[in-house]
Amino acid sequence: MPAILLDGKQIASEIRQETAAEVQNLTAAGIRPGLAVVLVGNNPASEIYVRGKVKSCEELGIYSEKITPPATITTGELLALVNELNARDEIDGILVQLPLPTQVDAKKILLAVDPAKDVDGFHPMNVGFLSTQRPGLISCTPAGIMEILRRSHVDISGQEAVVVGRSDIVGKPTAMLLINANATVTVCHSKTRDLPGVCRRADILVAAIGRAGMITPDFVKPGATVIDVGTNNVTDPAEFQRLFVGNAKREETFRTKGATLVGDVHPAVAEVAGKMTPVPGGVGPLTIAMLMSNTVKAAKMRRGGRN
Ligand code: GUN
Protein backbone atom coordinates (compact mmCIF):
# COMPACT_ATOMS: atom_id res chain seq x y z
CA MET A 1 0.00 0.00 0.00
CA PRO A 2 1.51 3.38 -0.93
CA ALA A 3 2.35 5.85 1.83
CA ILE A 4 -0.25 8.25 3.21
CA LEU A 5 0.71 11.72 1.99
CA LEU A 6 0.90 14.32 4.75
CA ASP A 7 -0.85 17.41 3.41
CA GLY A 8 1.32 20.40 4.32
CA LYS A 9 -0.98 22.85 2.55
CA GLN A 10 -3.94 21.79 4.69
CA ILE A 11 -1.94 21.92 7.94
CA ALA A 12 -0.48 25.33 7.02
CA SER A 13 -3.97 26.61 6.30
CA GLU A 14 -5.18 25.48 9.76
CA ILE A 15 -2.22 27.25 11.42
CA ARG A 16 -2.87 30.41 9.40
CA GLN A 17 -6.52 30.40 10.50
CA GLU A 18 -5.55 29.97 14.16
CA THR A 19 -2.95 32.72 13.80
CA ALA A 20 -5.43 35.08 12.12
CA ALA A 21 -7.80 34.65 15.08
CA GLU A 22 -4.98 35.55 17.49
CA VAL A 23 -4.07 38.58 15.36
CA GLN A 24 -7.70 39.76 15.65
CA ASN A 25 -7.72 39.39 19.42
CA LEU A 26 -4.38 41.14 19.84
CA THR A 27 -5.33 43.94 17.46
CA ALA A 28 -8.59 44.45 19.38
CA ALA A 29 -6.46 44.82 22.52
CA GLY A 30 -4.37 47.50 20.78
CA ILE A 31 -1.42 45.28 19.86
CA ARG A 32 -1.28 44.76 16.11
CA PRO A 33 1.58 42.35 15.36
CA GLY A 34 4.13 43.78 12.92
CA LEU A 35 6.81 42.15 10.78
CA ALA A 36 9.72 43.87 9.03
CA VAL A 37 11.31 41.95 6.17
CA VAL A 38 14.71 43.11 4.95
CA LEU A 39 15.51 42.08 1.40
CA VAL A 40 18.97 43.15 0.25
CA GLY A 41 19.61 43.37 -3.50
CA ASN A 42 17.75 41.55 -6.28
CA ASN A 43 18.11 37.79 -5.76
CA PRO A 44 15.10 36.46 -7.78
CA ALA A 45 14.45 33.48 -5.47
CA SER A 46 14.59 35.75 -2.39
CA GLU A 47 12.19 38.21 -4.06
CA ILE A 48 9.65 35.41 -4.56
CA TYR A 49 10.00 34.20 -0.93
CA VAL A 50 9.65 37.73 0.44
CA ARG A 51 6.58 38.41 -1.70
CA GLY A 52 4.96 35.30 -0.20
CA LYS A 53 5.80 36.45 3.35
CA VAL A 54 4.37 39.95 2.85
CA LYS A 55 1.22 38.59 1.15
CA SER A 56 0.65 36.17 4.02
CA CYS A 57 0.91 39.06 6.53
CA GLU A 58 -1.76 40.95 4.60
CA GLU A 59 -4.08 37.93 4.60
CA LEU A 60 -3.74 37.48 8.36
CA GLY A 61 -4.00 41.13 9.37
CA ILE A 62 -0.34 41.41 10.45
CA TYR A 63 1.27 44.79 9.76
CA SER A 64 4.23 44.33 7.43
CA GLU A 65 7.01 46.45 6.09
CA LYS A 66 9.40 45.50 3.32
CA ILE A 67 12.77 47.23 3.33
CA THR A 68 14.93 46.82 0.23
CA PRO A 69 18.46 48.19 0.58
CA PRO A 70 20.75 47.95 -2.49
CA ALA A 71 23.12 44.99 -3.00
CA THR A 72 26.04 47.36 -2.32
CA ILE A 73 25.05 47.94 1.34
CA THR A 74 27.88 47.61 3.90
CA THR A 75 27.78 45.58 7.12
CA GLY A 76 27.77 48.85 9.08
CA GLU A 77 24.81 50.27 7.16
CA LEU A 78 22.80 47.06 7.54
CA LEU A 79 23.63 46.95 11.26
CA ALA A 80 22.28 50.49 11.59
CA LEU A 81 19.05 49.44 9.84
CA VAL A 82 18.62 46.40 12.11
CA ASN A 83 19.18 48.60 15.17
CA GLU A 84 16.51 51.02 13.98
CA LEU A 85 14.05 48.13 13.66
CA ASN A 86 15.09 46.80 17.08
CA ALA A 87 14.15 50.18 18.58
CA ARG A 88 10.69 50.45 17.00
CA ASP A 89 7.95 49.24 19.35
CA GLU A 90 5.39 48.44 16.61
CA ILE A 91 7.83 46.01 14.93
CA ASP A 92 7.56 42.60 16.62
CA GLY A 93 9.46 40.51 14.10
CA ILE A 94 12.59 41.22 12.05
CA LEU A 95 13.52 38.91 9.22
CA VAL A 96 16.69 39.48 7.23
CA GLN A 97 16.32 37.40 4.10
CA LEU A 98 19.32 35.19 3.32
CA PRO A 99 21.61 34.91 1.45
CA LEU A 100 23.23 38.31 1.98
CA PRO A 101 25.78 39.77 -0.47
CA THR A 102 29.33 38.53 0.17
CA GLN A 103 30.65 41.88 1.48
CA VAL A 104 28.14 41.73 4.35
CA ASP A 105 29.10 39.82 7.50
CA ALA A 106 25.88 37.76 7.83
CA LYS A 107 26.79 36.32 11.26
CA LYS A 108 27.26 39.85 12.64
CA ILE A 109 23.87 40.91 11.25
CA LEU A 110 21.99 37.92 12.67
CA LEU A 111 23.63 38.54 16.05
CA ALA A 112 22.41 42.15 15.99
CA VAL A 113 18.71 41.25 15.69
CA ASP A 114 16.99 41.63 19.06
CA PRO A 115 16.39 37.99 20.17
CA ALA A 116 12.85 38.99 21.21
CA LYS A 117 12.15 39.98 17.57
CA ASP A 118 14.12 37.14 15.94
CA VAL A 119 11.21 35.42 14.15
CA ASP A 120 13.67 33.27 12.15
CA GLY A 121 15.00 31.79 15.40
CA PHE A 122 18.57 32.16 14.11
CA HIS A 123 20.01 34.21 17.00
CA PRO A 124 22.35 32.16 19.23
CA MET A 125 20.25 33.16 22.23
CA ASN A 126 17.15 31.54 20.71
CA VAL A 127 19.21 28.50 19.65
CA GLY A 128 20.32 28.25 23.30
CA PHE A 129 16.75 28.64 24.58
CA LEU A 130 15.70 25.77 22.30
CA SER A 131 18.51 23.51 23.43
CA THR A 132 17.73 24.18 27.11
CA GLN A 133 13.94 23.97 26.67
CA ARG A 134 13.20 27.59 27.57
CA PRO A 135 10.47 29.63 25.86
CA GLY A 136 11.80 31.41 22.77
CA LEU A 137 11.47 31.76 19.03
CA ILE A 138 12.08 28.59 17.03
CA SER A 139 13.32 28.42 13.46
CA CYS A 140 10.33 28.18 11.08
CA THR A 141 11.03 25.06 9.01
CA PRO A 142 11.91 22.84 12.02
CA ALA A 143 8.87 24.18 13.90
CA GLY A 144 6.76 23.38 10.81
CA ILE A 145 8.09 19.81 10.70
CA MET A 146 6.97 19.31 14.31
CA GLU A 147 3.52 20.70 13.50
CA ILE A 148 3.17 18.22 10.61
CA LEU A 149 4.16 15.32 12.88
CA ARG A 150 1.89 16.39 15.76
CA ARG A 151 -1.14 17.26 13.66
CA SER A 152 -0.78 14.00 11.71
CA HIS A 153 -0.69 12.07 15.02
CA VAL A 154 2.74 10.58 14.40
CA ASP A 155 4.17 9.14 17.65
CA ILE A 156 7.46 10.81 18.55
CA SER A 157 8.18 9.83 22.16
CA GLY A 158 10.48 6.82 22.34
CA GLN A 159 10.73 6.56 18.56
CA GLU A 160 13.97 6.37 16.56
CA ALA A 161 14.41 9.56 14.54
CA VAL A 162 17.15 10.09 11.98
CA VAL A 163 17.89 13.56 10.61
CA VAL A 164 19.99 13.66 7.45
CA GLY A 165 21.70 17.07 7.25
CA ARG A 166 23.25 19.14 10.04
CA SER A 167 22.60 22.73 8.96
CA ASP A 168 22.12 25.44 11.58
CA ILE A 169 18.80 26.39 9.96
CA VAL A 170 17.14 22.98 9.59
CA GLY A 171 19.08 19.85 10.60
CA LYS A 172 20.36 20.88 14.03
CA PRO A 173 17.19 22.61 15.32
CA THR A 174 15.01 19.75 14.01
CA ALA A 175 17.19 17.26 15.88
CA MET A 176 16.87 19.37 19.03
CA LEU A 177 13.07 19.57 18.76
CA LEU A 178 12.85 15.81 18.28
CA ILE A 179 15.08 15.23 21.33
CA ASN A 180 12.87 17.59 23.35
CA ALA A 181 9.87 15.51 22.21
CA ASN A 182 11.59 12.38 23.61
CA ALA A 183 12.70 10.77 20.35
CA THR A 184 16.03 8.94 20.15
CA VAL A 185 17.82 11.06 17.58
CA THR A 186 20.71 10.42 15.19
CA VAL A 187 22.06 13.22 12.99
CA CYS A 188 23.76 12.16 9.76
CA HIS A 189 25.92 14.10 7.31
CA SER A 190 28.32 13.65 4.40
CA LYS A 191 30.88 11.78 6.53
CA THR A 192 28.39 9.31 8.02
CA ARG A 193 29.37 5.65 7.45
CA ASP A 194 26.66 3.38 6.01
CA LEU A 195 24.07 6.13 5.60
CA PRO A 196 21.40 3.76 4.20
CA GLY A 197 21.85 1.44 7.19
CA VAL A 198 21.54 4.26 9.72
CA CYS A 199 18.47 5.67 7.93
CA ARG A 200 16.81 2.24 7.93
CA ARG A 201 16.70 2.38 11.74
CA ALA A 202 14.40 5.40 11.60
CA ASP A 203 10.75 5.39 12.58
CA ILE A 204 10.89 9.08 11.60
CA LEU A 205 13.30 10.03 8.82
CA VAL A 206 13.93 13.71 8.09
CA ALA A 207 15.78 14.48 4.86
CA ALA A 208 17.38 17.94 4.75
CA ILE A 209 20.40 17.51 2.52
CA GLY A 210 19.67 19.47 -0.64
CA ARG A 211 20.26 16.62 -3.13
CA ALA A 212 17.42 15.61 -5.42
CA GLY A 213 16.02 12.16 -4.72
CA MET A 214 19.03 11.00 -2.67
CA ILE A 215 16.90 9.04 -0.20
CA THR A 216 15.93 5.94 -2.16
CA PRO A 217 13.66 3.09 -0.96
CA ASP A 218 16.64 1.10 0.41
CA PHE A 219 17.14 3.90 3.02
CA VAL A 220 13.67 3.47 4.46
CA LYS A 221 12.22 1.05 7.00
CA PRO A 222 8.82 -0.20 5.84
CA GLY A 223 6.08 1.87 7.46
CA ALA A 224 8.38 4.74 8.53
CA THR A 225 7.30 8.39 8.46
CA VAL A 226 9.45 10.32 5.99
CA ILE A 227 9.70 14.12 6.09
CA ASP A 228 11.22 15.66 2.98
CA VAL A 229 12.67 19.14 3.46
CA GLY A 230 14.41 19.30 0.07
CA THR A 231 13.41 21.68 -2.71
CA ASN A 232 15.60 20.93 -5.69
CA ASN A 233 14.90 22.19 -9.18
CA VAL A 234 15.70 19.36 -11.59
CA THR A 235 16.54 20.43 -15.15
CA ASP A 236 18.78 17.55 -16.31
CA PRO A 237 16.77 15.04 -18.42
CA ALA A 238 18.82 12.04 -17.20
CA GLU A 239 18.21 13.05 -13.59
CA PHE A 240 14.53 13.55 -14.39
CA GLN A 241 14.36 10.00 -15.80
CA ARG A 242 15.97 8.54 -12.67
CA LEU A 243 13.29 10.17 -10.54
CA PHE A 244 10.07 10.22 -12.51
CA VAL A 245 10.17 7.58 -15.24
CA GLY A 246 6.56 6.63 -16.08
CA ASN A 247 4.99 9.57 -14.17
CA ALA A 248 2.77 11.15 -16.84
CA LYS A 249 1.94 14.29 -14.86
CA ARG A 250 5.57 15.09 -14.07
CA GLU A 251 6.61 14.30 -17.64
CA GLU A 252 4.09 16.87 -18.85
CA THR A 253 5.45 19.53 -16.42
CA PHE A 254 9.02 18.75 -17.42
CA ARG A 255 8.20 18.94 -21.14
CA THR A 256 6.46 22.29 -20.85
CA LYS A 257 8.65 24.00 -18.22
CA GLY A 258 12.00 22.22 -18.69
CA ALA A 259 12.20 21.81 -14.92
CA THR A 260 10.39 20.23 -11.98
CA LEU A 261 10.64 20.56 -8.21
CA VAL A 262 11.94 17.48 -6.39
CA GLY A 263 12.64 16.80 -2.74
CA ASP A 264 15.60 14.95 -1.23
CA VAL A 265 13.45 11.82 -1.17
CA HIS A 266 13.06 9.66 -4.27
CA PRO A 267 9.37 9.35 -5.25
CA ALA A 268 9.64 5.52 -5.16
CA VAL A 269 9.96 5.80 -1.34
CA ALA A 270 6.16 6.15 -1.35
CA GLU A 271 6.05 2.35 -1.92
CA VAL A 272 7.90 1.68 1.36
CA ALA A 273 7.09 4.53 3.78
CA GLY A 274 3.96 4.56 5.93
CA LYS A 275 3.53 8.32 5.76
CA MET A 276 5.44 10.93 3.81
CA THR A 277 5.39 14.60 2.89
CA PRO A 278 5.11 15.40 -0.82
CA VAL A 279 7.23 17.99 -2.65
CA PRO A 280 5.75 20.42 -3.43
CA GLY A 281 2.96 20.73 -0.83
CA GLY A 282 4.65 19.17 2.21
CA VAL A 283 7.04 21.06 4.49
CA GLY A 284 7.26 24.13 2.21
CA PRO A 285 3.86 25.66 3.05
CA LEU A 286 4.56 25.35 6.79
CA THR A 287 7.56 27.67 6.69
CA ILE A 288 5.57 30.86 6.04
CA ALA A 289 2.74 29.71 8.33
CA MET A 290 5.26 29.32 11.19
CA LEU A 291 6.76 32.71 10.41
CA MET A 292 3.31 34.24 10.89
CA SER A 293 2.81 32.25 14.08
CA ASN A 294 6.27 33.34 15.35
CA THR A 295 5.43 37.00 14.67
CA VAL A 296 2.30 36.70 16.81
CA LYS A 297 4.25 34.82 19.48
CA ALA A 298 6.91 37.57 19.50
CA ALA A 299 4.20 40.25 19.84
CA LYS A 300 2.60 38.40 22.76
CA MET A 301 5.91 37.72 24.53
CA ARG A 302 7.23 41.27 24.18
CA ARG A 303 4.05 43.39 24.40
CA GLY A 304 1.32 41.03 25.66
CA GLY A 305 1.69 41.53 29.38
CA ARG A 306 2.12 45.27 29.29
CA ASN A 307 -1.38 46.66 29.89
N1 GUN B 1 16.43 32.17 2.85
C2 GUN B 1 15.96 30.93 2.58
N3 GUN B 1 15.24 30.47 3.63
C4 GUN B 1 15.26 31.44 4.57
C5 GUN B 1 14.69 31.56 5.87
O6 GUN B 1 14.01 30.67 6.39
N7 GUN B 1 14.92 32.72 6.51
C8 GUN B 1 15.67 33.72 5.98
N9 GUN B 1 15.85 34.82 6.69
N10 GUN B 1 16.21 33.64 4.78
C11 GUN B 1 16.01 32.51 4.08
Q: How far is CA 284 from the centre of its chain?
A: 7
CA dihedral 244, 246, 250, 254 (to 10 degrees): 80
Pocket of ligand 1 (CB under 6 A): 95-98, 120, 140
Check pLDDT > 60 for residue 215. Answer: yes
pLDDT at 306: 72
Residue 3 maps to a domain: no
Q: Are residues 75 and 178 in the same domain?
A: no
Residue 46 Cα: closest atom of ligand 1: 1
Is residue 300 in some structural domain?
no
Last residue in a domain, options 83, 116, 149: 116
The per-residue pLDDT for range 27-47, each reduced to its tens digit, is 999 999 999 999 999 999 999
**Segment 264-287 mean pLDDT:** 98
Residue of the CA atom closest to atom 8 of ligand 1: 97
| Inside any domain, residue 130 | no
Q: What is the whole-number distance in angstroms between the Cα of residue 49 and the centre of ligand 1?
A: 8
CATH code of 97's domain: 3.40.50.10860
50 CA to centre of ligand 1 in angstroms: 9
Is residue 205 in some structural domain?
yes
Looking at the fold, whether 182 and 272 belong to one and the same domain comes out as: yes
Q: Determine whether 194 is an active site residue.
A: no
Annotated active-site residue 97? The verdict is: yes
Question: Which pLDDT does position 307 carry in this prediction?
Answer: 56
CA of 201 relative to ligand 1 center, distance in Å: 31
Q: Residue 15: pLDDT above 90?
A: yes
pLDDT at 52 over 80: yes
Residue 187 falls inside a structural domain: yes
Q: Which domain holds residue 197?
A: 140-284
Q: Are residues 177 and 247 in the same domain?
A: yes
* 172 included as an active-site residue: no
Could you tell me if residue 307 is inside a domain? no
The pLDDT score that the predictor gives to residue 225 is 99
**Substitution candidate for ligand 1 out of 96, 120, 291 with most atoms within 8 A of CB:** 120
Same domain, 278 and 144: yes
Q: How far is the CA of 229 from the centre of ligand 1 (A)?
A: 13
Q: What pLDDT sits at residue 214?
A: 98
- The number of folded domains in the chain is 2
Q: Residue 260 maps to which CATH number?
A: 3.40.50.720
What does pTM read for this prediction? 0.97
Mean pLDDT over each residue of the chain, to the nearest integer: 97
Decide if 100 is inside a domain. yes
Q: Which residue has the least CA distance to atom 1 on ligand 1?
A: 98
**Best probe residue, ligand 1, of 82, 97, 167 (max atoms within 8 Å of C-beta):** 97
Residue 265 lies in a domain: yes
Q: What percent of the chain is predicted at pLDDT more than 70?
A: 100
Give the closest residue (by CA) to ligand 1 atom 9: 97
The residue whose C-alpha atom lies closest to atom 2 belonging to ligand 1 is 98
Considering the domain architecture, whether residues 146 and 219 belong to the same structural domain is answered as yes
* pLDDT band at residue 121 using 50, 70 and 90 as cut-offs: very high
